[in-house]
Structure 1
Amino acid sequence: MRGNLFAINQIEVFGNRTLSGKYIQSASGIEIGKSIFSVRSWEIENRIKKINDVKSVKVQKVFPHLIRIEIIERVPLAKVVIGDTWFYIDDQGVRVNTPSDNPERLISLYVPSLEDNSIPMTLEIIRAWLSGFDTPLKLVKMVHHNLFILQLQNDIFIKCENVQNLKEKVPILKPLLREVQVKALKVVGFDLRMKKDIVLIQDEEEVF
């Protein structure tokens, strides 16, 4: 009697953006008709976490016969470009298979290779920018370990040595960017690599 009363007859999947509910149900390994007492939520979560585009998952047993699966999918943050090769990554640097809903908003991330932590180092620059500034970022190019070039959506360029260099210059750079926005300051960009100051870039040839 207990087996029939507590038999799983429904699986709810929500939070999924591009992954189909049927695909997630299949990956979960849950069998319809099986007793709800026989399934372990953590085991189901571990199976679903093997899907590359799943960032997190929470499984809940709702008695007497429902299994609820909440999914958070990985969202592309940047498009990594290495020569003729490109792929999407999320904010943790994990490759994402699903395309972006707004590809024009993705940050282009140019690195010379996949070696020497080039992607994690460039992601640190992106995170620091997103946490410290409001101006949208268009691209970040890693020239080498001590030179990163950022291009903003308003086509202003920023040159910095590393993430620490960028963070240290936030208080000085923010008001300068506001002056650019209101057109009180006309420059091509800013070079942050001087120890205590910021150098104005007047010509685009000085950027590259």
Structure 2
Amino acid sequence: MSFALARQKGSTTRWNKFRSERNKKEKRGSSLRKRLYDPPKLAIWTRTFVEFASKLFLAGVVAYLLFAGYNFLLSSPRFKIQHISFQGNQVLSNAEVLEWLGSLKGQNLFAINLSELNQQLIEHPWIKSSSIQRKFPKGLDIEITERVPYARVKKDQNYLIDNFGVTLSPERPEYRHLPLIIMEKNKEKYLSNDEALHSLKTMRYFNKLPFFKNNPLDGAKIKGHSRVLFVTKNGDLQIQMSMNDLNEGFKNFMIILDSLEEKNLRVQMIDLSFKDQVIIKERI
């Protein structure tokens, strides 16, 4: 058995029409709500301008406070230098260091340039290195490492030099025990020569030997371009060496040392400047 169903066209058409109209109303309502809730462009621009102006004002306030604080640090009498402490200076007095730096007391603690002061200090011949620190609110700490005198050199007068050949100052009484380098006329260029300084180290090796205990080598005379003549303290013994081969000369001296002590020779000069040969000159 079968049934035939007849479609009701009228009711279906009405339903589709109703649904279409409802969808249109919903779209119109959505568009209306969107227009109602969207903020106007003028309000957005106003808010952006206010935020930018607020940030700009805050930045100006911070900049002003920094500028005012900086001026306060540079102008306040609370930060004028009144106390300067020194460390490490043994040869130079505090007054000599201050005289080299110039007037510091009364200057503003923040206005002085510590790097420039340090550079000025190490330009002093006696100062090898230095460090300067601010000590709040009114002080400076200056720490100095001085050069160590290594020998004396005779020019127009006797000068002190360190182990790098730097001339420190005219001779001081407390350093008259240091060996004296005597240069031939117009030979001052050898002062910075490594060989000339090495010759002084060789002289120190000699003085460590018992042979020179009572009469150490006390001076060195640079002769020509390659010879050095060591002289003992009382001047009765001279040792000549080649500055180009100081180590070999010292070894040769060690070879003959036993013979010198055994024979008790009255030696006036020992020439170690020749290779594989030692010349001994006795006093008459």
TM over 0.5, shorter chain: yes
Cα distance in structure 1, aligned partners of 2:259 and 2:129 = 41
Shift of 1:70: 2.4
Mapped pair 1:94 → 2:94: no
Mapped pair 1:25 → 2:98: yes
> Match for residue 119 of structure 2?
46
Q: Which amino acid aligns with 2:264?
A: K
> Match for residue 264 of structure 2?
186
- C-alpha offsets along residues 119-148 of structure 1, whole Å, 9 cap, x if unaligned? 334333113433676254311112211322
Is the Cα contact below 8 Å between 2:203 and 2:230 reproduced in 1?
no
1:69-84 superposed matches below 5 A: 69-82=142-155
Give the total of aligned pairs.
199
Q: Which has the higher contact order (CA 8 A, sep 6+)?
A: 1
| Range with greater deviation from structure 2 (96-105 or 128-137) | 128-137
Q: Which amino acid aligns with 1:112?
A: E
Report SS of the residue matched to 2:96: helix
Is the Cα contact below 8 Å between 1:76 and 1:96 reproduced in 2?
yes
Cα distance in structure 2, aligned partners of 1:17 and 1:5 = 32
> Match for residue 201 of structure 1?
280
Is the Cα contact below 8 Å between 1:165 and 1:192 reproduced in 2?
no
Cα distance in structure 2, aligned partners of 1:67 and 1:52 = 22
- Cα–Cα, structure 1 residues 24 and 96, in superposed 2: closer, same or farther, change >3 Å? same
**What is the TM-score when the length of structure 2 is the normalising length?**
0.56
Is the Cα contact below 8 Å between 2:242 and 2:274 reproduced in 1?
no
- C-alpha offsets along residues 135-182 of structure 1, whole Å, 9 cap, x if unaligned? 5431111221132211234754221111x41123334434755876xx
* Structure with the bigger percentage of strand: 1
- Cα–Cα, structure 1 residues 75 and 100, in superposed 2: closer, same or farther, change >3 Å? farther
* Structure with the bigger percentage of helix: 2
1:5-16 superposed matches below 5 A: 6-16=79-89
Cα distance in structure 1, aligned partners of 2:253 and 2:166 = 30
Cα distance in structure 2, aligned partners of 1:105 and 1:201 = 28
Cα distance in structure 2, aligned partners of 1:18 and 1:150 = 29
> Match for residue 149 of structure 1?
229
Cα distance in structure 1, aligned partners of 2:188 and 2:79 = 54
Mapped pair 1:107 → 2:179: yes
Q: Work out which of the two has the higher radius of gyration on C-alpha atoms and give 1 or 2.
A: 2
In structure 2, list runs of 5 or more residues that go unmatched: 1-71, 210-215
Percent identity between the two aligned chains: 24
